[in-house]
Amino acid sequence: MLGMEGLKSADPRTVTTQHLESLLRGYFDACNAGDAKTVAACFVKNAVHYFPANERYGPWRGAKQIAEGWAGVCKHSRPVWTVDALMVDPCKAEAVVEWTMFRTKSGKRLRGIDWYVFDRASGLISEVRAYYAADEHRGQAVHELGGFDYAKRGYATQPPRRHAAQEE
């Protein structure tokens, strides 16, 4: 929970809409590439990435653990994330990304939302809170909202071709 410092205005030179969007898209690109160095560069040193309570990963503490964690996930399950929706609030130094993760190795798909909090001085990510559309049940290939027509609303239902080709 943010203390009183959360009520202060963000430094307009560091935390702009353009900066936050660019940083988040770069972070997702780095995650897709399994690029631990670039992932780590998106975070302050003492950042925390939280996961749902029943998730096997989290929380990951520190930029290094976050970067190594995603590199390990990439090596194991070959995920590809798409950014389906992105909203930023530079005044609060926060953002939300709705995403889809395609596990290209297993064919599974998981949807979720990450809530981001940014360090005002550096403009880097200080906290990520991940929320999944549904619990990730073993043996279930698709994890998303029940009854929500993703395809009709224009969401990806297959991994992007540039990443699907990596599997061949």
Which residues on adjacent β-strands are paired with residue 89? 94
Alpha-carbon distance values, 154 to 38, 107, 131, 157 (Å): 29, 20, 21, 9
Q: What is the mean pLDDT of residues 73-97?
A: 94
- Alpha carbon distance 34, 145 (integer Å): 27
Predicted TM-score (pTM) of the model is 0.78
CA dihedral 165, 166, 167, 168 (to 10 degrees): 60
Structure tokens, 162: 């540039």
Segment (H or E) for 158:
none
Predicted pLDDT at 139: 67
Instruction: Report the number of distinct structural domains present in the chain.
Output: 1
3 state SS of 30: helix
Q: What is the tens place of the pLDDT at every residue in 89-136?
A: 999 999 999 999 998 888 888 999 999 999 999 999 999 998 887 665
Give 86-132 as a DSSP string.
EEEETTTTEEEEEEEEEETTTTEEEEEEEEEEE-TTT--EEEEEEEE
Q: What is the tens place of the pLDDT at every residue in 47-59?
A: 999 887 667 777 8
CA 67 and chain centroid, separation? 12
Structure tokens, 105: 């190795």
Q: Cα angle at 142 between 146 and 52, to 5 degrees? A: 80
- CATH number for the domain spanning 149: value is 3.10.450.50
- Enclosing domain of residue 37: 4-167
